Each structure stands twice: as C-alpha cells, then as structure tokens.
Amino acid sequence: MEVLSLVEKLWGFVVRRWLRFPLLQRHYEAAFKKAAEGKKELADAAIQILREGFFEEFVKPPDISVEKEFTEFLHRLSERLPQVEGLKEFLKRAYRELATSLEGDEMWSDRSKKIAEFLQQRCEEPREALREEQPIVPATSHFKPIPNHDNFLDRQSELEQLRAWLEEEEAPKIGVLVGIGGQGKTYLAAKFAEECQQNGWQVRWAEFKKGRAIL
C-alpha cells in the first residue's frame, strides 16, 4: 500500500510539473473540434493558432485574463478566416465546451469557473445592447376621424336615449348599438359622437377591420 501511495504521489508530481499544460492544450483542441460542428477548416485554423504561439503567450501565463485571451484569439481567427461568418459564436461554443471539460479536472477547476463567469458576462452584454438598440416602432393607430353623418335621418328617439344614457350618473358607461346591417347604426353613432365632442367630451372613433368587415 505504501508503494502504491508513493507511486501515486510521484505520478501526481509528474502530471503537475510536466503534463498539466499539454493536457490543458488537449482540452482546448478538443473543444475547438466539437464547437466547429464538422467544419474542418474552422477547427484546423483554431488549432493551428493555438499551436503557433498563442497557447504559450495567452493561456499559460497566470496573469492573462480570460477576456484578453478570448479577444486576442478572436482577432487572430478573424484575420485567418476573414470570409467566414459566425466566428464569435464559434468561439463562445468552444469556450463553453472548454469550461465543461475542465470542470471535472481538479487541476483546472478554477480556470473552468473563470471561463464560465466570463461567458455569462459576455453573453448578457449583447442582449442588453440589443434591447437598447432596437428601434421604437410606433403602434398602429386604429383611431379615425368621426365619419360624415349627412345621411342621419329619423333617429331622434334613439339619439335622445343616448343623451339620457350619457347624463345618467349610475348608468353603465359601456354601451353597444346593435341592429341588422344598413339600418343607420354608424350614422347614429357618428352624430352622437360629434355632439359629445362639441359638449367637451374627448371622443375617439376607432375602426377594427378584418377583411371588409368592421368588428
């Protein structure tokens, strides 16, 4: 048992001393391949950038932030693949994969947390900007001028009923004119609306149409 314990300690020392960064680089490369979703050119370009000094310059140094690392990698990838769209989204996917794969590795669990925190901030900012930049679209107004009621004829009794309804304090303030088509409901409503307006009421005439029918 003591021999096995000693071997485990020695192996742990070897891993931490010489293999931790090669293993971390493998995590990066695997994340790039998975995030590329079968696009070989994209995966190969990302891995090549990593191997051409980026890993040594921006991943290994402990004082380089995840944000600086991500930004520089995106810059180099954009220079290498200027014709490819969606590079930022690809890199976000890759770093999500990286954070997930490092989560179970005790040597790199802290790095996994930092990547996850960075991604959370990075993904929230565009949504806030999108809400701020969205143009304000004016709502469609259904209000129209009160229609001409020159054809208002022989509806004095109904008009008197509407006047009385308006003046009665306890009466419900929502009313509906009902009747078969062509009996003059619109002209009656227009006449009453104009009288209300002349007497100081605020009047809004609204039409809601579906096809040719007024609802």
**CB–CB of 124/111 below 8 Å?**
no
Using alpha carbons only, how large is the chain's radius of gyration in Å? 36
Whole-model pTM: value is 0.51
Residues 6+ apart with CB under 8 A from 34: 93, 94, 97
Taking only the tens place, the pLDDT of each residue in 100-155 is 988 877 778 888 999 999 988 876 554 444 455 555 555 555 667 887 766 666 67
3-state secondary structure of 144: strand
Taking only the tens place, the pLDDT of each residue in 163-172 is 888 787 776 6
Residues 6+ apart with CB under 8 A from 176: none
How long a stretch of residues is the chain? 215
Q: Is the pLDDT of residue 76 over 50?
A: yes
Q: For residue 182, list its beta bridge partners.
A: none
Greatest mean pLDDT among 17-21, 104-108, 114-118, 197-201 lies in 114-118
Q: Is the dihedral of CA 134, 136, 137, 140 positive or negative?
A: positive
